[in-house]
C-alpha cells in the first residue's frame, strides 16, 4: 500500500501563502539551489503525485516549459523534467482535461477513488494543495507530512490545512537543516483527532 505524503513550504506560523493567489510564490520563501536539489531528489522518489486544482494549475503554468528554458539553472530544468514526466492525479470537480501525464478524478467519491489508488500503489504518493490534503486528513488517508519551514512569520494568510480544527498527533521521522536557515521535518500522522 502507498503512503500519502503532503509536502508544503510553510512559514514559522504554518502559513502557506500570505495573500490569496500567491500560490506558494511568496518572497518570504528561501528556496536556493541546495533546497531545490533536495526537492528534486524527493520528487524523483515518488511513484505518483496528487494535486488539488489550484496547486496543479500553478505547477502546470511553469514547470513543463521550464524543462526546456536554457535561461534557467539546471536544477530548475531538472525539476521541470521530473514533474512533467511523473504520473499525476488532479482532484477537481471543474477540470475535465489535463496534459503532462495527468488523469482527473472528482465528484462525490473522490476520497474513495484516492483510497483505492493508495491501496494499489507501492511507495510514496506526493500530495500538493491544502484543500486536497485537508480532505485526505479528514478521511483518515493522509500518512505523512513533509514540512519545509522558512524563517518568516507571516501573521496571516492561508494555513497548512484548510478548516481543520482537530488535534493531530505526529511522530518525527526525519529532520534536516539547510544553510539558508530553512528546516525540513517529516512526520508520520499517528492520530488525527480520532478520525482515522
Position 107 scores a pLDDT of 83
The structure's pTM equals: 0.92
pLDDT given for residue 110 in this prediction: 94
Do 99 and 60 touch, CB atoms closer than 8 A?
Answer: yes
What integer pLDDT is reported at residue 166 of this predicted model?
A: 85
CATH of the domain at 56: 3.40.430.10
What is the model's pLDDT at position 67? 94
Domain span at 170: 2-192
User: Measured between alpha carbons, how far is 86 from 47 in angstroms, rounded to an integer?
Assistant: 7
Per-residue pLDDT, 25 = 58
Q: How do beta strands 183-192 and 123-128 pair?
A: unpaired
Residues of the chain with confidence (pLDDT) below 70: 19-25, 192-196
Which residue do the cell numbers 528556496 mark? 31
Instruction: Count up the domains in the chain and report the number.
Output: 1
Amino acid at each position: 500500500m502507498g503512503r500519502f505524503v503532503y509536502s508544503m513550504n510553510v512559514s514559522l506560523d504554518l502559513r502557506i501563502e500570505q495573500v490569496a493567489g500567491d500560490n506558494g510564490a511568496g518572497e518570504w520563501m528561501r528556496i536556493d539551489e541546495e533546497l531545490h536539489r533536495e526537492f528534486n531528489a524527493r520528487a524523483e522518489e515518488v511513484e505518483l503525485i496528487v494535486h488539488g486544482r489550484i496547486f496543479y494549475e500553478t505547477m502546470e503554468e511553469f514547470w513543463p516549459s521550464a524543462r526546456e528554458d536554457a535561461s534557467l539553472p539546471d536544477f530548475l530544468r531538472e525539476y521541470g523534467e521530473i514533474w512533467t514526466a511523473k504520473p499525476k492525479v488532479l482532484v477537481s470537480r471543474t477540470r475535465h482535461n489535463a496534459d503532462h501525464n495527468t488523469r482527473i478524478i472528482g465528484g462525490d467519491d473522490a476520497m474513495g477513488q484516492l483510497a483505492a489508488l493508495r491501496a494499489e500503489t507501492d511507495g510514496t504518493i506526493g500530495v500538493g494543495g491544502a484543500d486536497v490534503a485537508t480532505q485526505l486528513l479528514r478521511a483518515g488517508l493522509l500518512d505523512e507530512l513533509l514540512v519545509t519551514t522558512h524563517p518568516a512569520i507571516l501573521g496571516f494568510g492561508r494555513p497548512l490545512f484548510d478548516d481543520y480544527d482537530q488535534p493531530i498527533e505526529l511522530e518525527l521521522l526525519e529532520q534536516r537543516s539547510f544553510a539558508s536557515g530553512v528546516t525540513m521535518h517529516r512526520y508520520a500522522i499517528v492520530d488525527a483527532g480520532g478520525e482515522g
